[in-house]
Amino acid sequence: MSAAPAALVRLARHAVTQPVEPPVPNDDAGLYARKGPWRLAFRAARRRGEVAASGQAAFETSRIDPAWRRAVWFHPEMPQIGDSLLDLAPRSLLVEHGIAVDVVLPRALAGVYRGDGWFRRVIGPDEPFGAIDHDFAIVDSRGWKALAPKRRMAPRLPWVSVRGDYLAYDYQRGLLATRRFADLLGVRLDAAAEHRHARQKLDVPASPALAEAAAGRIAITLGGVQPHRVYCGWPDVARALVARGHRRIALLGSSNGAALAHAVRAALAGGDADVLDLVGKTDIAVTRNAMAASAAVLAVDGGLMHLACTTETPMLALFDATSLPVWRVPPDFDGRTLVSASADVNGIAPGAVVDAALALFDARGIAPDTARD
């Protein structure tokens, strides 16, 4: 293929240029190398055409008016819990500046955030909605899908975009959104405030009973959606931790972790382990409270790891080589991480997980068989 014209290269570079300064940790150069200028320029040009065809260009604004006090955030693009916890993290910054935020979410996420203390209202895709209740709208990007619910539900509201034309996948999503909102609000944040707003957060009510049963235990999250991020070494890890005196184990996760939960229980059968198996038995809110009550959490990059980031509980997080910690954990993360040498998290040996977990426990004063106060 011939060399791309200079104008096309500029358009392609624009597609992998973050709408914030300084840029957040990212794989922008890797994306550019993999996709190439022709494909990226085509996607960028298509996005510009989509905005023009949507009829929404006239309502886009580059700042949040200081007089605006009511926002509606349309978040249709990322139905995964983990990515949504990052993308929606800086709602706290808006609330701190006196803006009440409603959010329109896919059905799968609406239940997760229902009752969240930072949202005034959580609206599912089929629920009543009144655009008159809002001063402006927030959309995730300038893409057709991102703008679709805004076009349908609030076509004449002014709107701002978090990512704009930025097309990358791998970057610190919470930090980018925080810097973008700071720019839109015209405020400067020190490092502590930036980290606080960029951190994954969730404040939803939950029954305390099951969560209290996890108090002081070592929580292990099981299962996952993508096979290369389902760690199969947990039975060996749990056996080794129990042998080192950490007998009280809590197993957390959805029903897709049931087979691994059975394997862990089988590995610990007949010994001194005290296993609380909550896999498939709790909702997101109770799972989060169980994590908050635990002494430590061991997790793999995914929704449950991000959920653990909404708590103050020390965590060891495992990653495959395609998703680096700097893109996924909070900027001020003070736990431990391990990264596989391959695209499969199972490239991390159970012994390495045990060593990292024990180092975390030692650093945070988590003694064998000692519940955290």
CB 326 within 8 A of CB 171: no
66-90 residue pLDDT tens: 999 999 999 987 678 999 999 999 9
Each domain of the chain, given as residue ranges in start order, spans 1-204, 208-363
User: Which residues, including other chains, have CB under 8 Å from residue 249's CB and lie 6 or more apart?
Assistant: 217, 218, 219, 220, 238, 241, 242, 264, 268, 273, 274, 275, 276
First CA to last CA across the chain, in angstroms? 64
Angle at 172 between CA 168 and CA 176, to 5 degrees: 85
DSSP-derived 3-state class of residue 273: coil
Which residue is it, tokens 């391959």? 342
| Confidence tier at 372 by pLDDT (50, 70, 90) | very low
Model's pTM, two decimal places?
Answer: 0.94
Q: Return the CATH superfamily for domain 208-363.
A: Glycogen Phosphorylase B; (3.40.50.2000)
Q: What is the DSSP letter of 126?
A: T
Do 1-204 and 208-363 share a fold? Answer: yes
pLDDT of residue 207: 78
CA 15 to chain centroid, in Å, comes to: 22
User: Which residues, including other chains, have CB under 8 Å from residue 192's CB and lie 6 or more apart?
Assistant: none
96-123 residue pLDDT tens: 999 999 999 998 899 999 999 999 999 9
274-294 residue pLDDT tens: 999 999 999 999 999 999 999
pLDDT of residue 373: 40
pLDDT of residue 286: 94
For residue 46, CA distances in Å to 5, 16, 366 come to 18, 15, 53
DSSP-derived 3-state class of residue 369: coil
**Lowest mean pLDDT across 61-65, 72-76, 125-129, 166-170:** 125-129
33-78 residue pLDDT tens: 999 999 999 999 999 999 999 999 999 999 999 999 999 999 987 6
* Phi, psi angles (nearest 5°) of residue 250: -115, 130
Q: How far apart are CA 232 and CA 235, in angstroms?
A: 7
CB 247 within 8 A of CB 369: yes
Tokens of 158: 């002014």
Element (H, E) at 226: none
pLDDT of residue 1: 52
User: Which CATH class, in words, describes the domain spanning 1-204?
Assistant: alpha beta
255-280 residue pLDDT tens: 999 999 999 999 999 999 999 999 99
